[in-house]
Amino acid sequence: MRIFFTFIFFLVLGQSWAQDAVFSQFYAMPLQLNPGFAGSAFAPRMGVAYRNQWTGFGSAYRTYGAFYEQSLERLNSGIGFNLEGDNAGDGILKSNRFSAVYAYRLHLTEALDIRLGAEAGIFQSSLNWDKLIFVDQIDGINGISYNSQEIRPDLTSRTSLDISSGLLLLSEKFYLGASMKHLNTPREGILLINDKLERGLPIRYLVQGGLELVVKEGNKLHPPSFISPNFLFTSQGPFQQINIGAYAGLGSMFCGAWVRHTWRNADAVILVAGFKEGIFKMGLSYDATISRLNSAAGGTLECTIGIALDQDDGLKKRKKRANLNDCLRMFQ
């Protein structure tokens, strides 16, 4: 398995493009989607996520995430912090991103708001050279030797500035957003195999949107029940994918189902279930791979935990006075 990851690693280095991971439970990590979500919940909100992709390959690809955001009511603004980490090949290649997020709210009409978001931070990639296995280390009789003629590079990590922006349109019934990540195309390459790596991390374009259809109104004791049909489109370099499905909030429980499709083939069916009790929310999801990778790659597991400090009566009154459009229960 380690030899497999070594092959995949150099295969990736030889390409001109790389692709970010996107959480299947995208609503649980809103700042990863669009910096315009900062402050959209009004109450302070935070969350963590863990994703184990393609479990059939062991620890092939793991992604971590954490965020915090809150509204600055008097400034019509929101602020937040976002942390993401990727671990590929059981530690062979790692990347981390930390950023600060700001969003400004424009109240267009009684039924429509627009949020303009900006994000700036650092992107770091690192290579664990000692975990790589090269062809001259493989002996058909004695197994793997730890002596290789390959020369360790002087540079095994890189840190770059990373800038993103976003736009989010909100009403009481729908949301629609668009964002661009890595506007400055930060360099992530460590081994300069060819000049194509100089292009840096390509811009990631995201478009997201959805409706909120209330099935049963809530009260002080019970949250409302609703259905949110939605979509998420992502494009980065030559890669495109779209998630189409629906999220259902059923009192304190929720569930959802999406189909993820690339431009070439259907990739996975995503199933989600979880619960929300008080300030806590927890979700579990499974991506059932339906592409030709299914027999080898297996599925993808993901777990998210969120905390929304929205149970205070005074906070609820201030939110009502602020006349905020709120169709984002799915994200809260």
Tokens of 291: 């592409």
Task: For 123, list phi and psi in degrees, rounded to 5.
Answer: -120, 125
Count of CB atoms situated within 10 Å of the CB of 146: 7
What CATH class does 2-331 carry?
Answer: mainly beta
CA distance 67 to 308: 12
The per-residue pLDDT for range 160-175, each reduced to its tens digit, is 999 999 999 998 889 9
> How much is the pLDDT for 16?
38
Residue type, 179: S
Which whole-number Å values give the CA distances from 257 to 25, 242, 285, in the listed order? 10, 13, 9
Q: Helix, strand, or coil here: 247?
A: strand
Residue type, 214: V
The per-residue pLDDT for range 201-245, each reduced to its tens digit, is 889 999 999 999 988 876 666 777 899 999 999 999 888 999 999
Judged against a pLDDT cut of 80, whether residue 148 lies above it is answered with: no
CA distance 110 to 264: 42
The per-residue pLDDT for range 262-288, each reduced to its tens digit, is 877 788 999 999 999 888 999 999 999
Tokens of 119: 């994000």
The per-residue pLDDT for range 295-316, each reduced to its tens digit, is 566 788 999 999 998 766 666 6
Q: Which residues pair with 204 in a beta bridge?
A: 181, 236
> How much is the pLDDT for 11?
40
**Residues in CB range of 84: below 8 A, 6 or more apart:** 32, 63, 64, 65, 96, 97
> How much is the pLDDT for 219?
65
Q: The whole model's pTM is what?
A: 0.84
Q: Which residues pair with 139 in a beta bridge?
A: 143
CA distance 11 to 13: 5
